[in-house]
Each structure stands twice: as C-alpha cells, then as structure tokens.
C-alpha cells in the first residue's frame, strides 16, 4: 500500500460512491488505474465493503442504547451466541470487552417498548445493563 | 418513502457502491429512475452518505476500546468538548449516555502506548474508564 | 385542548375538588360550561382521575423506601410480576428503569419490621437494594 | 379517627371528587355530616389536599427518569437546594435517601433534549446518575 | 426514669463494676437506694447486662474484619440463619442492613487462616465481602 | 494467664458485675484470691474495663446506622479527625477499614433528623455512605 | 540472620547468579564462607530459590492482565482449584484477596485470543473481571 | 532462538543459579558452549536478569496487599509518579491497568501500621483501594 492508495482511501472515506474518474483527477491517474487499485485493496482485504449511512430517526428509530450483557456462566458453552446476537436486526455492533467478562451491544430500537422486548430476549443469555444514548 | 425505496435502501446497505443499473434490474426500474429516487432520498436526509468499511487491523490498528468519560462538573460549562472529542482521529463515535452522566467513546488505537496517550488527553476533561475490545 | 383547558387544569392541579363555579368565575365561563370541558378532558384521557393527598405519617407510616429489584433471569418468563407488585398495598409506584434491568419500587411501611417482611416477599422475585427516604 | 373516617378516606382515594352525598349514602350518613368529618380530617392534617391525575404523555411528556444527585461536599452549606429543586417544573418528587448521601429526583421531560438541559442545570449541584423509566 | 437514674447510668457506663456506695456518695443517696434503683432499671429492661471489655490482641486476636453477606435468595427461607451466625464464637455483632439486602458481620479472628475458614463457612449462606480493620 | 484466669474471664463476660465470691465458689478459690487475679488481669491490660449494656431503644434511639466515610484527600493531613469522630456522642465505634480507604462508623441516632444532622457534620470530612440497621 | 547475611541477600537480589567470590570480596569473607552462609539461608527457608527474569515480550507475550475470579459458591467445596489455577502455564501468580471473596490472577498471554480462551476456562469456576496491563 | 535455547531457559527458570556444566550435561553441550548461548540470550535482551526468591514472612513481612490508585486528574501532569512509586521499597510491582484509569500496586508491609503509613503517602497522588492478600 503506497501513498496513492492512501489518498484513494481518504477520498472513499468521505464518499464511498465517489466515481473512479473523480478520484483519478484528484490523484493524477486514469479511472481504470484507480479501478485496478481499488480492486487490489478489496482483494487484499483492506477494503471490506461500502456502507450506507442512513438517518435512523427518519426510518423510525426513537431509542438507541448501549447494552452490556454478562453471560450466565461465561460464553464457553455457547459458541454461537455471539453470532446469533450479531444477526439480530436491532444490533449495530456487538463486542466482547474487558472488565466484567461481557458483551457490549449497540442496538437501535423503534421505541422503548421495542427495547424492552429486546431486553427480554437478551435475558435468556445473561444479565443486561442498559445505557440510553441521549442526543439522538 | 414507498416499498421501492425500501428495496433500494436494502441493496445499498449490502453494497453502497451498487450500480443504479443493477438495482434497477432488481426492482424493475431503469437506472435513471433509480438515480432520481436515490437523489430524492439524499435530499430528504434519509441517506446521509456512503461509508468505507476498511479492515483497521490491516491499517495498523492493534487496540480498540470503549472509553467512558465522566466530565469534571458536567458538560454545561464546556459546550464544545463533545465536538472536540468527535473530531479526534482516534474517535469512531462519541455518545452521551444515561447512567452516570458521561460520554461513551469508541476509539481505535495503533497500540497500547497510543491508547495511553489518548487517555492522558482525555484526563483534562474528566475521569475515564476503559474496556478493551477483545476479539479484534 | 385550548388555553381555557390549560387554565382549568392549572386550577384543578392546585385543588382537585375545586367547584366548577369557582373555576368558571376565574376563567370567565359558567359552571356548566366548565363541567362540559372537564368531562371532555376526562373522555380524552387527559384527566385520568382525582387523587387524595394524605399525610401518611398520621396514618401510621414510619418508613418510606425506594427498593430496586433485579429479577432472577429477567421479567420475560413472569409477565404478571409487575402487576402483582403494583397491587401490593405497600407499593406507591413501580417502574421499570434502565441501568441494571430492574424495577424501582416506592414503598410505604408501618415500620422497619414491615419493610423487612416486604423484602422477604420480594426476594422470591429477585435481589433487592433498599434506600430509606430520610426526611419523612 | 374512627371506622367511618376510614371508609370516607377509602372512597376519596378512589375518586377525590366524589360528592359528599354519594359518600353519605354509602356509609349511612347525611351529606353535611360527611362534609363536617372531611373538614375535620383536613383540619387534623390527615387530608393534605386533592390532586389531579393527568396523562402526562397526552400533555407532551416523552421522557420520565429517576435522577440521583450526589452533592459536591454535602447539602449542609446549601440549605435551600432541596427547596429549589422541588420547585422546578420538571420535578415530581425529590427525596433524600440513604446509601451514597444523595437526592433521588423523579423528573418528567418533554424529550431527551429537555432531560439533557435539566442534567446540565443539576451539574452545578453535584454528580447525577440517570435511569430512564421504560414503560411510559 | 428521672435525673438520678441518668446519673447512675452515666457512672455505670464509665465503670460497670462501680460500687453502689460510690455511686451513692456521688448522687447523694445511700448504697441500698442505689441498688434498688439499679434493680428497677434492670427490671424495666433499660439495663440489659454488664459486659467485659477485654484487649482482644492480648487474647490472640490478630485479624478483625467487617464482612457483609448477601444471602442466596434472601433470608426468608432460612429463619434461623441470623441466629446461627450470631452464636458463632468469632462473631461480635451481626446486623441486617439496608442497601443490598445483606448482613453486616463484625468478626474477630486469630489470624488470616482463621478468617479464611470463617469465609468458607459463610459461603454456604451467600456471597461475602470482607473489609479488614486496619488499626488493630 | 492460666486456666483459672480463663474461667474468671468467662464468668465476667457473662456478667461483668459478678461478685468475686460467686466466681470463687465456681472455680474453687477465695474471693480475695479472685480479686487479686482480676487486678492482675487489669494491670496486664487483658481486662480494659467494664461496660454497661443498655437498651438504646428505651433511651430514645430509633435509628442505628453504619456510615462509611471516604475522606477528601486521605487522612494524612488531618491526624486528629479519627479522634474527633470517636468522641462524638452518636458514635459507638469508628474503624479504619480496607477496600476504599475509609472509616466505618457505627452511630446511634434519636431519629432520622438526628442522622441527617450527623451526615451534614460528616460531609466536611468526606463523602458518606449510609446503611440503616433494620432490626432495631 | 546477621548484618553479613543481609549484605549477601542484597547482592543476590541485584544478581542472583553473583559468584560467591565476588560477594566475598565485597563483604570481606572467603568464597567458601559465603557458600556456607548461603546454604544456611537456604536451609532456614529464607532463600526459597533463584528465578529467571525474562523479557516476556521477546518470548511472544503480547497481553498481560490481572483477572479477578469470584467463585461460584465460594472455594470451600473445591479445595484444589487454587492449586489447579496456579499450575496453569499462563498464570504468574494467584492470590486470595479481601473485598469480594475472590482470587486475583496475574496472567501472561500470547495475544487477545489466548486471553479469551483462558477466560473461557476460568468461567467454569466463577465470574471473571479483567484489567489489561497497559504499559507492556 | 532455537530448541536448545528453550531448554536452557527452562532449566534456568527452575533454578537460575544452575551451573553451566549441569545444563550442558542435560542438553548435550559443553559448559562453555552453554555459557556462550546464555550470554547471547542476555545480549538479545531475552534474559533480563536473575532474581532471588526470598521468604518474605521470614524477613518480617506480615501484610501483603494489592492497592489500586486512581490518580487525581490523571497521570499526564506528573510523568515521574509511576517511577517514584516503583522505587519505593514496599512496592513489588506497579502496573497501569484498564478499567478505571489507575495503577495496580503490589506492596509488602511489615504490618498493618506500615500499610497505613504507605496509604497515607499514596493519598497525595490519588484515591486508593486496598485488597489484603489472605494466604500469606
């Protein structure tokens, strides 16, 4: 990965749909040359994908919360719990963190009732602690 | 926002660089029709942008951590602290959360030394509590 | 709900037994007109009822306490627990709150022995934490 | 306070606007006799007043929260803080409780922004800890 | 209980073996009069007994500790646990306290090994938290 | 200290006013011999005194509490704080304990108002945490 | 143990492989005399052994952590757990400490994955809390 | 570092004073060859030194404790605090750890009075929390 790759990444970070032509103009390469480099970055696993940034409030999200989950008896006996949680539609991210051995889940919910239903589902896995994000 | 818009958003969520032609084929519209709808979603503020998903480990990130920050004497006297923190390059997200009145910062760091330097900078604002993300 | 309704609500907040005649004099309407508006506020569900404010100490209450209750294994398997607790005569209010997933119960008790008996009953549902209200 | 007084209190607890005539029918006394007893209960301080139960959601309340406030350096040097807080329009109740020496405030807020503004005001007195009530 | 009784209690508090003759001289009564009053205070339950203050270090106590015990599933199903704990020779006092529903035990131990053995015994009842008293 | 001394201490622990004659009968010594041994135990510092066990409730104590006090900036700059606290009439015991560096104070109070006044006094030294004893 | 022994211990603390000849020169004794004293210190149990100080990072250790372990139901029923844990290759030290009745384990790990595997093994014994050492 | 080096390290871990001759016999090399390899491991920084394992109890240590220290306002303004603490004779190790931003100090003390004096010294830097090691 050289300096040109870094500049390409910088431009794609600002707008992941930026056209190769525009990027090329900026760094002094042709569009196909940019396309070749981007495919290389994808093949090398540096670029993992392109994500949409949506306004969740406009899509009906009223409640965002961090939820830590201390598993009953650890995660060892339940290897696929982490995957199951990550696949739930409310879950934006789910990380295992230090401190009390637990998962830190970032979840988006339609409203408080939706959050409660989610906490009920989580309670089969362990004890939850919820912090609402205030500046939605 | 109708059902077609929802399908368009679904496809862009999977790949934000998906061509309008492909989306069009999938939902039974022409590429220009898709382009018009996408621009409308952008104008309505439903789509806020397009983000790059990079593999941070390949870019030299060894340490990821959640850091909660309890401000000395609240945030009221320091209106721009939240903005300052959000602009730091290590900071992926920074949310005000309930519980102890605090900020929850997700930060990516080159290594532990980098994390320590960040904690030192944070200590001017308040007391930090750090949880390392384990499955980097 | 217009400005007159707001004035009526203000007066009823100060004294829920205020006569419609007095309210009418104050806002420039007849007693029957006030009555009609109050019935409308009741029908709209804005006014839910009229409560008595009693001096609990004079009725034998020596101990008031907030009790948080962390349920064994969440509330999901026991849908009617919340209702059962709310119906207990000691319970003034019972709210599900964020933080550790728990109920916050405000209870009034004849004395400490009464509080202990209440805590024993609660221990079948989960672990309690008690904060006595000091300025009874 | 005899058995008849208790029956009168029971009926007023259910509906504080109950007419003396109805109460009288129920307990076998005339309306004026009930009125006399109610005035006596008021004079004795057993009845402190009559409160309106309104549906706060219909009046624009979206966020309810318990907020504990640990004062900087105790309450001793600031005798009127408790009164000041109790007079704030968001505050439904404010109690001094055991555990960490603190106040437990129940507040009703238009929305999360309103809650944040309230927490900012509170931060001049001490450190806050907020638990959102979930089943509004 | 009058002023003379109070003076008698004051003198006995300083030295519970004080002779009735000395107390009598001090308060202007005969020894038998003092004896009669002391017996009355005993009969009234005001005086519950006379305790020896020993130097526990000189009797081989090296470790003193406060131990809080959060019972598994509350105390309700085990009415005699409190009595059993109070009868243990290491236990100086055992009180049920607010906060987490728990017992606060003050124990004196020959040494750390003795304390560990005591904690093992306690672990059948619940989870312990130990604070060593430092200025033995 | 031999076996006879231990027996004497046992009897005095049960009743610190036990007559030397009775103790002597029990252990097979004359009253003066017991007196001599007791004085020796006093001189050796094994017996530190004789305490009155009073029923505090009958003397007007309604509230008993454990109060932990975390000093502002440690105890080092204030050598006589510990002594000052121990001399307060509400204080039954005051121990420095491990965990958060703090004092554990056992206090007896006429009522909750008295406890509040005590907490106010303590707040000049540090932050308090109060646990009420429930089975007074 | 006299002053010469102390000097010998001081020199061995700095370098446990120091030759007896060098120590002897320093304290004014012959090498055999030093050897005799060292063997005596070994026989007395004052010297328990000689340890290698290695650079763990150079041997592939990336993650060091303190892990506290609160046992399910205490240690009493599992006398050999402490020994088992001490024998694990990741464990540098394992101490029973006051506070919540728990073990404090210092562990060295190849990386975060290794730490996670260790936490899984620990979860059969109890609940863990992990603090990463930052300045490796 | 090859397999022979690993075997040499293993033997030195068991006894850091092991003679090169003995190690050589074990791995099939001459004593000088072992010496050469050991010096290389020293030069490479793999071996950092040789430490004495003493029985601290026999040298007068009665109290061992883990002490966490949360600094007033972080460590940033006081770069040499960590070094100062590490140089104190009671301090065996001092690590910066995650969680509350703090130092974890392992200290050995002659007795509880010595520990108290140490805590007093620490209180100039921040707030301490002490856990006594029980199985000395």
Residue H66 and residue H117 in one domain: yes
Give me the total of CB pairs closer than 8 Å, taking one residue from chain A and one from chain H. Answer: 4
Pair H86, H65: CB distance under 8 Å: no
Q: For the segment F61-110, what is each residue's pLDDT rounded down to a tens digit?
A: 999 999 999 987 666 666 688 889 999 999 999 999 999 989 999 999 99
The number of domains in chain A is: 2
- Collect the ranges in chain E with pLDDT lower than 50: none
Please report which confidence band the pLDDT of residue C80 belongs to, taking 50, 70 and 90 as the band edges: confident
Terminal-to-terminal C-alpha distance of chain D? 38
How far is it, in rounded angstroms, from Cα C91 to Cα C93? Answer: 6
Q: Which of G14, G52, G63, G95 to mutate to test the interface with H (most CBs of H within 10 A)?
A: G52
Residues facing residue F106 across a β-bridge: F66, F93
Query: For position E107, what pLDDT does the model report?
Result: 98
Residue D80 and residue D105 in one domain: yes
Residue F70 and residue F11 in one domain: no
Kindly give, in sequence order, each residue whose CB lies less than 8 Å from that of residue E131, ignoring residues fewer than 6 positions away. E65, E66, E67, F97, F98, F99, F104, G98, G99
Residue A119 and residue A91 in one domain: yes
**DSSP secondary structure string for all residues of chain E:** --HHHHHHHHHHHH-TT--HHHHHHHHT--HHHHHHHHHHHHHTTSEEEEEEEE-TGGGT--EEEEEEEEETT-STT-TTHHHHHHHSTTEEEEEEETEETEEEEEEEESSHHHHHHHHHHHTTTEEEEEEEBS--
Query: For position D79, what pLDDT does the model report?
Result: 67
In a domain, A49, yes or no: no
Q: Please state the rounded mean pLDDT for residues C119-132.
A: 92
Distance from chain centroid for Cα D38: 21
Residue C121 and residue C61 in one domain: yes
Q: Please write down the HEC assignment for all residues of G11-36.
A: HHHHCCCCCHHHHHHHHCCCHHHHHH
Contacts of E99 in chain D (CB under 8 A): 98-99
Q: Has residue F46 got a pLDDT over 70? A: yes
How far is it, in rounded angstroms, from Cα E54 to Cα F44? Answer: 11
Residue C37 and residue C62 in one domain: no
Q: For the segment C13-43, what is each residue's pLDDT rounded down to a tens digit?
A: 999 999 999 999 999 999 999 999 999 999 9
Cα distance from G103 to chain E (closest Cα, Å)?
12
Cα distance from H113 to chain E (closest Cα, Å)?
7
Pair F99, H119: CB distance under 8 Å: no
Write out the residues of chain E at the interface with chain C, using a CB-CB cutoff of 8 A: 70, 73-76, 96, 98-101
Cα distance from C106 to chain D (closest Cα, Å)?
11
Q: Has residue C89 got a pLDDT over 70? A: yes
In a domain, F71, yes or no: yes
Query: For position A25, what pLDDT does the model report?
Result: 96
In this complex, do D115 and A135 lie within 8 Å of one another by their Cβ atoms?
A: no
Conformational region of residue H84, where left means phi above 0, alpha means psi within -120 to 50, and beta covers everything else: alpha
Residue H61 and residue H32 in one domain: no
pTM as predicted: 0.91
How far is it, in rounded angstroms, from Cα E35 to Cα E20? Answer: 6
Cα distance from E114 to chain H (closest Cα, Å)?
10
Contacts of H95 in chain G (CB under 8 A): 64, 66, 133-135
Q: For the segment G60-72, what is each residue's pLDDT rounded down to a tens digit?
A: 999 999 999 998 7
In a domain, H27, yes or no: yes
Cα distance from D15 to chain A (closest Cα, Å)?
30
Residue B61 and residue B125 in one domain: yes
Of C46, C58, C96, the CB nearest to D134: C96
Please report which confidence band the pLDDT of residue H72 belongs to, taking 50, 70 and 90 as the band edges: confident
How far is it, in rounded angstroms, from Cα G126 to Cα F27? Answer: 52
Of C70, C73, C101, the CB nearest to A119: C101
Which CATH number characterizes residue A125's domain? 3.30.70.920
- In angstroms, the Cα distances linking C128 to A113, C81, E71 are 24, 15, 11
In a domain, A127, yes or no: yes
How far is it, in rounded angstroms, from Cα G20 to Cα G41? Answer: 14
In a domain, B94, yes or no: yes
Pair B13, A52: CB distance under 8 Å: yes
Write out the residues of chain G at the interface with chain E, using a CB-CB cutoff of 8 A: 70, 73-76, 96, 98-101
Q: Has residue D132 got a pLDDT over 70? A: yes
How far is it, in rounded angstroms, from Cα H136 to Cα H134? Answer: 6
Name the DSSP class of B112. H
Q: Please state the rounded mean pLDDT for residues A68-93.
A: 84
Query: For position F81, what pLDDT does the model report?
Result: 86
In a domain, E48, yes or no: no
Give me the total of CB pairs closer than 8 Å, taking one residue from chain E and one from chain F. Answer: 112
In a domain, D50, yes or no: no
Cα distance from E124 to chain F (closest Cα, Å)?
23
Terminal-to-terminal C-alpha distance of chain A? 38
In this complex, do B53 and A54 lie within 8 Å of one another by their Cβ atoms?
A: no
Task: List, in sequence order, the alpha helices (H) in chain D.
Answer: 3-14, 20-27, 31-43, 81-87, 112-122
Helix axes F20-27, F31-43, angle to 10 degrees: 100
Please report which confidence band the pLDDT of residue F124 belongs to, taking 50, 70 and 90 as the band edges: confident
Q: Has residue D9 got a pLDDT over 70? A: yes
Contacts of C75 in chain A (CB under 8 A): 120, 123
Q: Please state the rounded mean pLDDT for residues H117-134.
A: 93
Pair F64, F111: CB distance under 8 Å: no
Chain H, nearest residue to B130 by Cα: H99
CA proximity to D93, closest of D125, D59, D69, D117: D69
CA dihedral D110, D115, D116, D119 (to 10 degrees): 150
Pair G8, G26: CB distance under 8 Å: no
Query: For position D74, what pLDDT does the model report?
Result: 63
CA proximity to E31, closest of E23, E39, E41: E23
Of B123, B127, B131, the CB nearest to H76: B123
Chain B, nearest residue to D66 by Cα: B99
Between strands D102-109 and D63-71, the pairing is antiparallel
How far is it, in rounded angstroms, from Cα H55 to Cα H88? Answer: 19
Give me the total of CB pairs closer than 8 Å, taking one residue from chain B and one from chain C. Answer: 4
**Higher-confidence residue: C79 or H7?**
H7
From first to last of its 136 residues, chain B has per-residue pLDDT tens of 899 999 999 999 999 999 999 999 999 999 999 999 999 999 999 999 999 999 999 999 999 999 999 987 666 666 688 889 999 999 999 999 999 989 999 999 999 999 999 999 998 888 999 999 997 5
Which CATH number characterizes residue C8's domain? 1.10.10.10
Residue D28 and residue D95 in one domain: no
> Phi and psi (nearest 5°) for D72?
-65, 120
Please report which confidence band the pLDDT of residue H73 belongs to, taking 50, 70 and 90 as the band edges: low
H to E contact (≥3 Cβ pairs closer than 8 Å): yes
CB neighbour burial string for H42-81, b if at least 16 within 10 angstroms, e if fewer: eeeebbeebbbebebeeeebbbbbbbbbbbbebbeeeeeb
Q: Has residue D75 got a pLDDT over 80? A: no
Q: Please state the rounded mean pLDDT for residues D54-81.
A: 85
CA dihedral H57, H62, H64, H70 (to 10 degrees): -150
Pair C6, C12: CB distance under 8 Å: no
In this complex, do B98 and D127 lie within 8 Å of one another by their Cβ atoms?
A: no
- The residue with tokens 């030290």 is G93
In a domain, F10, yes or no: yes
G to A contact (≥3 Cβ pairs closer than 8 Å): yes
- Reported ipTM: the value is 0.88
In this complex, do D53 and C55 lie within 8 Å of one another by their Cβ atoms?
A: no
Q: Please state the rounded mean pLDDT for residues A95-119.
A: 94
Of G132, G135, G136, the CB nearest to B132: G132
Residue A68 and residue A122 in one domain: yes
Residue A21 and residue A60 in one domain: no
CB neighbour burial string for B6-45, b if at least 16 within 10 angstroms, e if fewer: eebbebbeeebebebeebbeebebeeeebeebbeebeeee
Of G121, G123, G129, the CB nearest to A73: G123
In this complex, do B135 and G115 lie within 8 Å of one another by their Cβ atoms?
A: no
Query: For position B49, what pLDDT does the model report?
Result: 96
CA dihedral C135, D3, D5, D10 (to 10 degrees): 70
Question: What is the residue-averaged pLDDT of chain F?
Answer: 92
- In angstroms, the Cα distances linking C60 to A66, C91, D97 are 43, 15, 20
Residue G73 and residue G122 in one domain: yes
- Residue G107 structural domain: 56-132
Q: Please state the rounded mean pLDDT for residues G98-117.
A: 94
Q: Please state the rounded mean pLDDT for residues D8-28.
A: 95
Q: Is B87 exposed, middle or buried (0-12, 13-18, 19+ CB in 10 A)?
A: exposed
């Amino acid at each position: 990965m050289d300096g040109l790759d870094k500049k390409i990444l910088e431009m794609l970070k600002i707008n992941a749909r930026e056209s190769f032509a525009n990027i090329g103009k900026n760094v002094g390469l042709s569009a196909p040359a940019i396309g070749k480099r981007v495919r290389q970055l994808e093949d090398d696993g540096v670029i993992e994908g392109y994500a949409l940034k949506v306004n969740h409030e406009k899509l009906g999200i009223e409640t965002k919360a961090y939820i830590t989950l201390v598993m009953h008896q650890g995660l060892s006996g339940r290897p696929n719990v982490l995957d199951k949680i990550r696949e739930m539609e409310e879950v934006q991210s789910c990380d295992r963190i230090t401190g009390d051995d637990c998962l830190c889940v970032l979840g988006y919910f339609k409203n408080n009732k939706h959050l409660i239903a989610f906490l009920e589902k989580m309670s089969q896995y362990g004890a939850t602690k919820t912090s609402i994000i205030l500046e939605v």
